[in-house]
């Protein structure tokens, strides 16, 4: 997002110091991007970083009870899909992808809904999604013909801004790393803009250093 670009570029430098190759960058199209900021995105893309579409506003005001509970426990106020119906979600997916083309950025093949919450998207509307890959909490949805097939993959996250989140996520991340290792599967590692300043910086460092082979998010294989 425009307001997080400096922090993201700091993380990219931090990762580069640990010999991590170009990563996947999630871009929120509906933010007030300036021409200079779009040029910075183009520069990151030119360095090999994959661009993925990430919602539209990355913000919502939960209305449904289930969404309010989800926001309180997991997503705060970013899971915008959960306030939409299936048709609205599909329209958002198309609008999100089109923004890249309109701004002369590489059209993304990967879509990541905010908080990985895809929402009530029907199978019929999902089949018309303009992406080849859609990431969810459970794994990666891969387009195969007119349908999507789920590839289950472990996932870590480090947004530990409270003691509870620190305790839960430290346990969760280690369990996810162990599961990926046992199953010889790829581990998805998700780093958000503030994570190096939060409570799990040490775990990010140790888990990044434990990786022996990095792969691009859109080309993860079992």
- Kindly give the confidence (pLDDT) of every residue in the chain, 222 residues in length, as a single tens digit, with 9 standing for 90 and above: 999 999 999 999 999 999 999 999 999 999 999 999 999 999 999 999 999 999 999 767 656 655 545 445 565 677 888 889 999 999 999 999 999 999 999 999 999 999 999 999 999 999 999 999 999 999 999 999 889 999 999 999 999 999 999 999 999 999 999 999 999 999 999 999 999 999 999 999 999 999 989 987 766 554
Identify the pLDDT of residue 217. 72
pLDDT for 58 equals: 73
CATH number for the segment(s) 2-152: 3.20.20
d(CA 222, CA 218): 12
Delimit the domains of the chain by residue range: 2-152, 154-213
Which two three-digit tokens encode residue 176? 């996810």
- The pLDDT value given to residue 109: 96
Q: Do the Cβ atoms of 6 and 198 come closer than 8 Å?
A: no
What backbone phi and psi angles, to 5 degrees, belong to 56?
-130, -60
Long-range contacts of 34-42 (CB under 8 A, 24+ apart): 34/2, 37/2, 37/5, 38/103, 38/105, 40/5, 40/9, 41/105, 42/104, 42/105
Q: What's the rounded Cα separation, in Å, for the pair 203 and 98?
A: 37
Phi-psi region of 92 (alpha: psi -120 to 50; beta: other; left: phi over 0): alpha
pLDDT in the model for residue 132: 95
| pLDDT at 216 (0 to 100) | 79
Question: What pLDDT is stored for residue 27 in this prediction?
Answer: 98
Question: How high is the pLDDT of residue 218?
Answer: 66
* pTM confidence score: 0.92
Structure tokens at 109: 């093949």
């Amino acid at each position: 997002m425009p307001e997080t670009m400096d922090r993201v570029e700091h993380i990219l430098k931090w990762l580069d110091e640990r010999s991590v190759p170009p990563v996947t960058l999630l871009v929120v199209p509906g933010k007030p991007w300036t021409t200079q900021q779009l040029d910075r995105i183009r520069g990151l893309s030119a360095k090999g970083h994959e661009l993925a579409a990430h919602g539209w506003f990355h913000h919502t005001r939960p209305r449904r009870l289930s969404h309010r509970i989800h926001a309180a426990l997991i997503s705060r106020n970013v899971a915008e899909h959960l306030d939409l119906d299936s048709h609205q979600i599909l329209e958002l997916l198309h609008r999100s992808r089109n923004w890249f083309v309109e701004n002369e950025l590489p059209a993304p093949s990967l879509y990541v809904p905010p908080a990985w919450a895809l929402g009530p998207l029907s199978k019929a509307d999902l089949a018309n999604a303009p992406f080849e890959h859609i990431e969810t909490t459970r794994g990666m949805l891969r387009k195969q013909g007119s349908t999507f097939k789920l590839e289950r993959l472990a996932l870590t996250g480090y947004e530990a801004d409270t003691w509870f989140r620190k305790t839960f996520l430290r346990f969760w991340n280690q369990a996810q790393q162990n599961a990926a290792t046992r199953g010889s599967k790829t581990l998805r590692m998700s780093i958000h803009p503030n994570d190096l300043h939060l409570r799990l910086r040490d775990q990010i460092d140790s888990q990044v250093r434990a990786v022996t082979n990095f792969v691009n998010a859109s080309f993860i294989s079992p």
